[in-house]
Amino acid sequence: MKHVLQSLLVVTALLGGGCDTQTARVADAANQDVQAEKKGHDMSELKPPSADSVLYFIYQRDGDGAVSYKVDGGATVSYWYGHAFELNGKHYFTGFGTRSVGEGPEGDNGMMDPEHVAISQATFTRVEKDGKSQWSKPDTDGYVGEFGRMGRAEQIDESRKAQSFTTGDGRYLLAVPTWDFVNGTDVRMFALLLFDPDNVDALEFRQWGYLGSIPVSYDNSDACDGGEVMTCAASSGTLAFEQAGAGLPDLKVISKGTTIAAPGKVREMTEADTVVYTFDEVKQRYEK
């Protein structure tokens, strides 16, 4: 930008005093460029809310900087995942937390599966105040669904990126990459969460809701012991969104690798192994 301004000054000097209007326009344009660059710089430097602040907004309990701690009733709350996104011209950041089943009379009162954790959320909107970008006070919800196993959440798979889809009716479907280790098998999944800020649909949840988790990859190499214990098989899959009108898309999982065809036998996966998941409005989950 410095070199651009220098060049503009040289040009205006060569034009002379008879071009005051043109000079003013050039200077004004240069100033607008500077302001736009400064604004973009300020916007890019707006950091996401911290994990501990997300938990505080959701649960109204100060964890003294911790990202996992106990609250009333013996439940443990933990920060799970953060995601920045844009929808309908607005910029958001959502921090997701989890809450384990509590103990005693102040626990979950039998509402939750004891194997699960409740998913919670705090959604911040980026706003302008006094020429600076900042996060609004968040919309929060302590329960947008439940998932997990053995009282813990699905673990975030750092090796893959989250995927998303904006529907024609203004909703935002987020697929968070997760994994679990089940009976010696490494299972890679996507946890599906739907953002509906304008209450377009008639689903039970408010702004965010959990729509289930779908597996995309399997690897039983830790359990098969080179084929001595069981047949070894490993596959990896990709997730694709297929538009279905203005509503929620179908989800296509395309896999490659090997799968168990019969006891002691494996085969290469083909296009016939592609799985399509559709949204079941009654169950409020994606099903194949």
The answer to whether 86 touches 61, Cβ cutoff 8 Å, is: no
> Which among 140, 190, 134, 141 is positioned nearest to 165, based on CA atoms?
190
pTM to 2 decimal places: 0.81
If you average pLDDT over residues 161-169, what whole number do you get? 97
If you average pLDDT over residues 178-191, what whole number do you get? 95
pLDDT, one tens digit per residue, over 95-137 is 999 999 986 544 454 578 889 999 999 999 999 988 899 999 9
Q: What is the pLDDT of residue 204?
A: 87
Which of 107-116, 159-168, 195-204 bottoms out in mean pLDDT, i.e. has the lowest?
107-116
Report the share of the chain in percent with pLDDT over 90: 68
Distance CA 65, CA 79 (A): 11
Distance CA 93, CA 90 (A): 10
Between β-strands 265-268 and 172-182, what pairing exists: parallel, antiparallel or unpaired? unpaired
Burial of 249 (0-12, 13-18, 19+ CB in 10 A): buried
Which residue, chain included where needed, has tokens 């599966």?
A: 113
Which of 50-59, 161-170, 222-231 bottoms out in mean pLDDT, i.e. has the lowest?
222-231
Q: What is the pLDDT of residue 94?
A: 98
- In this model, does residue 29 exceed pLDDT 70? no
- In this model, does residue 233 exceed pLDDT 80? yes
Please list, in sequence order, all residues whose beta carbon lies within 8 angstroms of the beta carbon of residue 211, skipping any fewer than 6 positions away.
145, 173, 192, 193, 194, 279, 284, 285, 286
Across-strand partners of 257? 235
Q: How far is CA 245 from CA 62, 167, 224, 242, 248, in A?
A: 44, 9, 44, 10, 8
pLDDT, one tens digit per residue, over 234-288 is 999 999 999 878 899 999 999 999 999 888 899 999 999 999 999 999 999 999 9
Q: What is the pLDDT of residue 244?
A: 73
The answer to whether 49 touches 122, Cβ cutoff 8 Å, is: yes
> Which among 121, 115, 58, 66 is positioned nearest to 95, based on CA atoms?
121
Fill in the amino acid letter for 115.
E
Q: Residue 230: which pLDDT band, with cuts at 50, 70 and 90?
A: confident
